[in-house]
Amino acid sequence: MTARRLCSMLGREPEHADAVSRGARPIRLADSSGGMSRAHAEIRLVNWDVFVVDHGSANGTFVQSPGQHEWARTIPGHPTTLVAGAQVLLGGRVLTFDSQHSQF
């Protein structure tokens, strides 16, 4: 059985990213901080696991796990697993991951 994979590309202008040409859904995020790249990061759903992957953004992608007080910078190109309640910092935007399959 092959893994089911769904992807979204987040950024100021994600429509032209390579990931979108391979099938990722572009999600445009307004960011007045100037810290978000055109194609900043990808969110991947593989089976029931959710990952964020920084696409070499100038200012980085950061994750804060539930109960943590520090932001951890992700390594560009390397998937970082998100757990329910994790926060993702992209430029001046903070996104919170929620899942009905786990509780935080």
Span 18-27, average pLDDT: 94
* Model pTM score: 0.89
Name the residue ranges covered by the structural domains of the chain.
5-96
Cβ neighbours around 99 below 10 Å, total: 14
pLDDT for 48 beyond 90: no
d(CA 74, CA 88) in angstroms, rounded, equals: 10
Percent helix, strand, coil in the chain, to 5, is 5, 40, 55
State residue 71 phi and psi, 5-degree precision: -90, 140
| 3 pLDDT higher than 90 | no
CA distance 78 to 53: 6
CATH of domain 5-96: 2.60.200.20
Separation between Cα atoms, residue 48 and residue 3, nearest integer Å: 10
